[in-house]
């Protein structure tokens, strides 16, 4: 009788565990067949290549720009004729041709923006009252819609709090037109972070550059340690190399045509909520990593925000949901096993009159 009772209890316990595991799989929408299928890579969709200019057009642009680059590079300045070129002035307007070739303005001639007396050599016309600006078209000439939306955002942000300081700002204050690449062009989050944070730190980590916008308007404050200012972060230095300043210092863009808002939030307004990034619905997937290539295999394997995996590890944002579910199922099975074991012991004692 005792053997039969114990055998029955064991059978009930084992059967209950099997049923419980099956219930977990059904509740999470997983079946053995479905789980097996999820390990198979998804078929890749064909990608359309962007239209590219003809080789003849590229050659014509390069030939025209070569005239300018024969002087306006470090190599060109060395060989420039001092009898017709102001070498001191030239030293202030040198560019990196490799960086320009990779920038957003690649494929354009220099004289597309630098017009008037710049179109011929030696340059004719009056001396430049403001170096680098005379007879150079403003960004609004080509980017009118973006500028129309961006200027009010900047004006209502931290950089627009002092109207006199704001008057010294233009697009080139942050975006070097000979170097800047949009995030959609860079795509690599590491390069995006380095470029965008470099723009911020070029002023906020340089008393000389900061003074260009504040001299004669407000006293130049002693430059504080950026790590001290952000000591509320668990590891500030890790953040500088892993995330952009603007992730916390700009609001979500309200304009569909602008991926990033240009309203810079003050330190009082900036985000301090860690959950903004460290969660399943991380803000990073809609901003910094929006151009990262999708990793379908990883997504199918249950990773949250799979596009982050190859470049970053963000606590709370890159967890694996399948592991979460498996962990919860195992915990539930352990608790169920303990409960059934206790129940079996109680039934056994009752059936044997309190004896083992």
Contact by Cβ (8 Å): 192, 200: no
Per-position DSSP letters for 195-238, written without gaps between them:
HHHHHHHHHHT-HHHHHHHHTTTS-------HHHHTTTSS-HHH
Quick one: pLDDT at residue 221? 65
Nearest-angstrom CA–CA distance, 23 and 29: 10
Q: Phi first, then psi: what are they for 232, rounded to 5°?
A: -70, -20
Nearest-angstrom CA–CA distance, 186 and 179: 12
Relative orientation angle of helices 2-27 and 321-351, to the nearest 10 degrees: 160
Quick one: pLDDT at residue 303? 57
Q: Could you tell me which residues come within 8 angstroms of residue 257 by beta carbon, excluding any fewer than 6 positions away?
A: 145, 146, 149
CA distances 165 to 155, 157, 169, 210, Å, are 10, 12, 7, 11
pTM of the model as a whole: 0.66
Q: Phi first, then psi: what are they for 157, rounded to 5°?
A: -100, -170
Quick one: pLDDT at residue 321? 67
Averaged pLDDT, groups of 10, the chain, 356 residues long: 48 51 47 40 42 86 92 92 87 93 93 85 63 74 90 92 91 93 87 92 86 84 77 86 90 82 92 84 78 52 59 64 78 90 84 67
Neighbours of 246 (CB within 10 A): 20
Contact by Cβ (8 Å): 261, 223: no
Quick one: pLDDT at residue 117? 79
């Amino acid at each position: 009788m005792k053997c039969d009772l114990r055998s029955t209890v064991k059978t009930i316990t084992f059967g209950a565990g099997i049923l419980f595991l099956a219930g977990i799989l059904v509740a999470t929408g997983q079946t053995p067949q479905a789980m097996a299928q999820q390990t198979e890579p998804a078929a890749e969709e064909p990608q359309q290549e962007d239209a590219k200019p003809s080789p003849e057009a590229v050659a014509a642009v390069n030939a025209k720009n070569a005239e300018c680059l024969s002087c306006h590079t470090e190599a060109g300045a060395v060989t420039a004729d001092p009898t017709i070129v102001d070498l001191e002035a030239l030293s202030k307007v040198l560019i990196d041709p490799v960086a320009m070739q990779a920038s957003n303005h690649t494929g354009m001639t220099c004289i597309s923006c630098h017009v008037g007396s710049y179109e011929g050599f030696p340059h004719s016309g009056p001396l430049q009252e403001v170096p680098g600006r005379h007879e150079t078209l403003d960004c609004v000439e080509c980017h009118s819609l973006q500028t129309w939306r961006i200027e009010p955002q900047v004006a209502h942000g931290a950089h627009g709090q002092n109207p006199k300081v704001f008057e010294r700002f233009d697009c080139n204050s942050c975006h070097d037109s000979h170097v800047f690449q949009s995030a959609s062009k860079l795509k690599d989050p590491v390069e995006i972070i380095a470029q965008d944070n470099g723009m911020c730190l070029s002023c906020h980590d340089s008393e000389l550059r900061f003074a260009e916008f504040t001299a004669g308007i407000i006293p130049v404050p002693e430059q504080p340690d950026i790590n001290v200012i952000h000591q509320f972060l668990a590891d500030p230095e890790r953040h500088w190399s892993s995330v952009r300043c603007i992730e916390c210092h700009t609001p979500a863009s309200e304009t569909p045509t602008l991926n990033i808002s240009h309203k810079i939030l003050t330190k009082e307004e900036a985000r301090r909520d860690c959950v903004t990034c460290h969660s399943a619905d991380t803000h990073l997937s809609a901003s910094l990593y929006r151009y990262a290539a999708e990793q379908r295999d990883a997504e199918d394997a249950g990773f949250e925000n799979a596009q982050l995996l190859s470049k970053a590890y963000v606590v709370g944002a890159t967890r694996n949901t399948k592991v979460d579910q498996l962990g919860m199922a195992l915990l539930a099975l352990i608790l169920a096993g303990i409960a059934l074991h206790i129940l079996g012991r109680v039934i056994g004692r009752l059936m044997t009159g309190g004896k083992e």
